[in-house]
Chains A and B, each alone.
Chain A
Amino acid sequence: ETGVTQSPTHLIKTRGQQVTLRCSSQSGHNTVSWYQQALGQGPQFIFQYYREEENGRGNFPPRFSGLQFPNYSSELNVNALELDDSALYLCASSLDRSEGYTFGSGTRLTVV
Chain B
Amino acid sequence: AQKVTQAQTEISVVEKEDVTLDCVYETRDTTYYLFWYKQPPSGELVFLIRRNSFDEQNEISGRYSWNFQKSTSSFNFTITASQVVDSAVYFCALGFLDTGNQFYFGTGTSLTVIP
Shortest Cβ distance from residue B76 to the other chain A in the assembled complex, whole angstroms? 17
User: Is residue A7 contacting chain B, with contact meaning CB distance below 8 A?
Assistant: no
The majority secondary structure among interface residues of chain A is strand
A33-B101, A56-B102, A57-B100 known; A88 vs B43 contact (CB < 8 Å): yes
Interface residues contributed by chain B, number (CB under 8 Å): 23
Chain A residue at smallest Cβ distance from B6: A42
The stretch from B54-62, B64-72, B79-87, B104-112 touching chain A is B104-112
Q: Given A41-B107, A42-B91, A42-B108, does the pair A103, B45 have CB atoms closer than 8 Å?
A: yes
Determine whether the beta carbon of A31 is less than 8 Å from that of B45.
no
Q: In A72-112, which residues have CB < 8 Å from any B CB? A: 88, 90, 92, 94, 97-98, 100-106, 108
Interface residues contributed by chain A, number (CB under 8 Å): 30
Tell me whether A42 and B106 are in contact in the complex, defined as CB-CB below 8 angstroms, given that A31-B101, A48-B100, A105-B42 are known contacts.
Answer: yes
Find B45's partner among A40, A43, A44, A94 (CB 8 Å cutoff): A43
- Measured CA separation A105–B43 after assembly (Å): 5
- Flag if B45 contacts A45 (CB, 8 Å): no
**Does the CB pair B43–A97 fall under 8 Å?**
no
B91 touches A56 (CB 8 A): no
Whole-angstrom CA separation of A101 from B82 in the bound complex: 26
- Of A90, A94, A108, which one neighbours B101 at CB under 8 angstroms? A94
Check if A55 is an interface residue, CB within 8 A of chain B.
yes
Residues A101 and B91 in contact in the complex (CB < 8 Å), given A42-B106, A44-B105: no
